[in-house]
């Protein structure tokens, strides 16, 4: 007997097939099968796309509110650095600190050299509230490839209450404190700016302003107004800014201010005091009506005053016009005379001269060439300092010089330097290779020193 025949386009089997005891393929089962196949294909495509290995790690799982913790993210890739997508956090702040890479191996095919690298990125994490802190996976993307790390979890606690001094502002870590006032002399009723600067890791968590009770009670009877803090994540720093308006004259020293933070290294609170700042308040002179001159002006004086007034008016109009067009003028000046490009060309010319005269081992020469390429990229295109791959060197040089050929020469030079520094030393690389490398580097930097940055 022939086996039963199924038709997926029909809602059921023929009566003969049903007579032989075969179950029918009903429409809802057919739709479920097709949906399952579609989901499987979608998951399969996602699994094929997520093939970057991403690892996130941190030192310790218990931290304090205001304490800075390093989070390292490592991604394996070839020439190009993957782009990281830090997650949005609730109860914490996280920012980029440093990027680096470590060559894992080199391969050469024909005239091109490629390397496998471990790209490392260091983030800084500062918790702002106690409790459990979950850091979602960090996503890395490179073209159509992607990957994500495991989630991180921290237990966040407040600094201990026991032994907490009154000058505690929320900081965790070591710090220094100083004070300054600008200007140092003011008329009675005028304004000065008073800054209390905190430098060091303890500044990350300091959000409460210091106590200025001693200043309020000084003899100049100041009126104080707190302004917005001036902050810097890297290097860590915070300036508490106040507007001071003295209402009485005199010479005083703004008293030192005590600031405290918790230092987890020694497990206790530390207190620092700012320096005293001298301030001179000058009394406003009394009004003397007898010193006024009531005589009418002479005709000549009036003419001179009119001429001076017209000249001042014209200068004022010119100044207003320049102020209104300042952005356009500045943009045109930057396009005509790009300061960063001039500085980069000057550096390239000097580097070419130095590399031509340098002596030493091939490894030392390769290291100096890599450092020169990193500094040129920083001056020319604003790339942050750090290790430079051949691909990054090509992109930076091509963008700065406007020459794709110079970019390819820079990539080849960087790859040869990486091969000298990180490949196995068994192949030699004596003075002949060093002379050839030195000559190629000198020619490249001399060409960059002459490049005007126009696309060629």
Q: Which of 255-259, 303-307, 330-334 has the lowest mean pLDDT?
A: 330-334
* Cα 211 from chain centroid (whole Å): 32
412, part of any domain: yes
E strands present in 87-236: 92-109, 112-127, 131-135, 139-142, 145-148, 152-157, 168-172, 176-182, 185-187, 192-199, 222-226, 230-232
Farthest CA pair distance, the chain: 135
Q: Please give the pLDDT value at position 306.
A: 78
- Report the number of distinct structural domains present in the chain: 5
Indicate whether 347 and 440 sit together in one domain.
yes
What interhelical angle do 431-450 and 404-422 show, nearest 10?
A: 150
162, part of any domain: no
Indicate whether 312 and 255 sit together in one domain.
no
163, part of any domain: no
3-state secondary structure of 351: helix
Indicate whether 422 and 351 sit together in one domain.
yes
> Please, where are the H alpha helices in 152-293?
213-216
232 within 8 A of 265, measured Cβ to Cβ: no
DSSP letter string over 13-50?
Answer: --HHHHHTTPPP--HHHHHHHHHHHHHHHHHHHHHHH-
Does the pTM exceed 0.75? Answer: no
Indicate whether 324 and 252 sit together in one domain.
no
7, part of any domain: no
CA atoms within a 13 Å half-sphere pointing along the CA-CB vector of 395: 11
Q: What is the average pLDDT score of the chain?
A: 82
Indicate whether 186 and 247 sit together in one domain.
yes
Indicate whether 211 and 123 sit together in one domain.
no
Beta-bridge partner residues of 114 = 107
φ, ψ dihedrals at 198, nearest 5°: -125, 125
Indicate whether 320 and 264 sit together in one domain.
no
Q: How far is CA 204 from CA 58, 71, 259, 262, in A?
A: 18, 16, 14, 12
| Residues 234-278: tens digit of each pLDDT | 999 999 999 999 999 999 999 999 999 999 999 999 999 999 999
φ, ψ dihedrals at 201, nearest 5°: -55, -30
- CATH number at 80 reads 2.60.40.10
281 within 8 A of 250, measured Cβ to Cβ: yes
Cα–Cα distance, 384 to 98 (Å, whole number): 9
Supply the range of the domain harboring residue 19: 15-47
Last residue of a domain, one of 91, 123, 157: 157
| Residues 180-215: tens digit of each pLDDT | 999 999 999 999 999 999 999 999 999 999 999 999
| Residues 143-188: tens digit of each pLDDT | 999 999 999 999 999 999 999 999 999 999 999 999 999 999 999 9
Indicate whether 121 and 70 sit together in one domain.
yes
291, part of any domain: no
Q: Please give the pLDDT value at position 176.
A: 97
Cα–Cα distance, 226 to 212 (Å, whole number): 11
Indicate whether 358 and 433 sit together in one domain.
yes
Cis peptide before 130, with omega less than 30 degrees from 0?
no
Tokens of 338: 């790009």
How many other C-beta atoms lie within 10 A of the C-beta of residue 411? 24
Indicate whether 232 and 308 sit together in one domain.
no
Query: 189: phi > 0 → left, psi -120 to 50 → alpha, else beta; which?
Result: left
288, part of any domain: no
124, part of any domain: yes
Q: Please give the pLDDT value at position 146.
A: 94
9, part of any domain: no
Indicate whether 139 and 190 sit together in one domain.
no
Report whether pLDDT(5) > 50.
no
Indicate whether 440 and 347 sit together in one domain.
yes
Q: How far is CA 381 from CA 162, 374, 397, 414, in A?
A: 51, 11, 9, 17
71 within 8 A of 149, measured Cβ to Cβ: no
């Amino acid at each position: 007997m022939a086996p039963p025949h199924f038709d997926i386009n029909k809602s059921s089997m023929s009566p003969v097939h049903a007579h032989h005891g075969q179950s029918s393929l009903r429409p809802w089962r057919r739709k479920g099968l097709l949906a399952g196949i579609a989901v499987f294909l979608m998951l399969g495509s996602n699994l094929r796309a997520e093939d970057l290995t991403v690892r996130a790690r941190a030192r310790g799982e218990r931290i304090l509110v205001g304490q800075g913790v390093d989070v390292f993210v490592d991604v394996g890739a070839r020439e190009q650095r993957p782009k990281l997508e830090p997650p949005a956090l609730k109860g914490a702040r996280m920012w980029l600190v440093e990027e680096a890479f470590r060559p894992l191996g080199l391969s050469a095919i024909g005239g091109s050299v490629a390397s496998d690298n471990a790209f490392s990125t260091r983030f800084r994490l500062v918790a702002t509230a106690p409790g459990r802190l979950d850091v979602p996976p960090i996503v890395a993307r490179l073209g159509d490839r992607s990957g994500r790390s495991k989630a991180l979890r921290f237990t966040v606690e407040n600094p201990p209450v026991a032994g907490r001094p009154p000058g505690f502002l929320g900081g965790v870590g070591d710090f220094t404190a100083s004070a300054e006032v600008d200007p140092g002399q003011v008329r009675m009723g005028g304004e000065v700016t008073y800054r209390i600067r905190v430098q060091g890791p303890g500044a990350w968590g300091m959000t409460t302003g210091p106590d200025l009770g001693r200043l309020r009670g000084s003899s100049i009877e100041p009126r104080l107004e707190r302004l917005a803090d001036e902050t810097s994540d890297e290097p860590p720093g915070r300036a508490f800014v106040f507007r001071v308006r003295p209402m009485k004259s005199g010479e005083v020293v703004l008293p030192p201010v005590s600031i405290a933070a918790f230092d987890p290294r020694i497990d206790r609170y530390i207190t620092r005091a700012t320096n005293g700042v001298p301030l001179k308040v000058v009394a406003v002179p009394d009004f003397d009506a007898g010193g006024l001159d009531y005589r009418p002006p002479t005709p000549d004086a009036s003419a001179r005053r009119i001429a001076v007034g017209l000249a001042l008016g014209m200068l004022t109009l010119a100044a207003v016009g320049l102020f209104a067009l300042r952005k356009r003028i500045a943009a045109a000046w930057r396009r005509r005379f790009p300061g960063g490009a001039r500085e980069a060309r000057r550096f390239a010319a000097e580097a070419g001269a130095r590399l031509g005269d340098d002596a030493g081992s091939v490894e030392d020469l390769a290291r100096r060439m890599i450092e020169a390429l990193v500094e040129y990229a920083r001056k020319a295109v604003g790339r942050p300092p750090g290790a430079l791959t051949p691909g990054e060197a090509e992109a930076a040089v091509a963008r700065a010089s406007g020459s794709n050929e110079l970019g390819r020469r820079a990539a080849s030079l960087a790859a040869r330097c990486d091969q000298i520094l990180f490949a196995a030393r068994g192949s030699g690389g004596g003075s002949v290779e060093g002379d050839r490398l030195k000559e190629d580097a000198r020619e490249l930097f001399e060409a960059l020193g002459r490049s005007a940055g126009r696309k060629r």
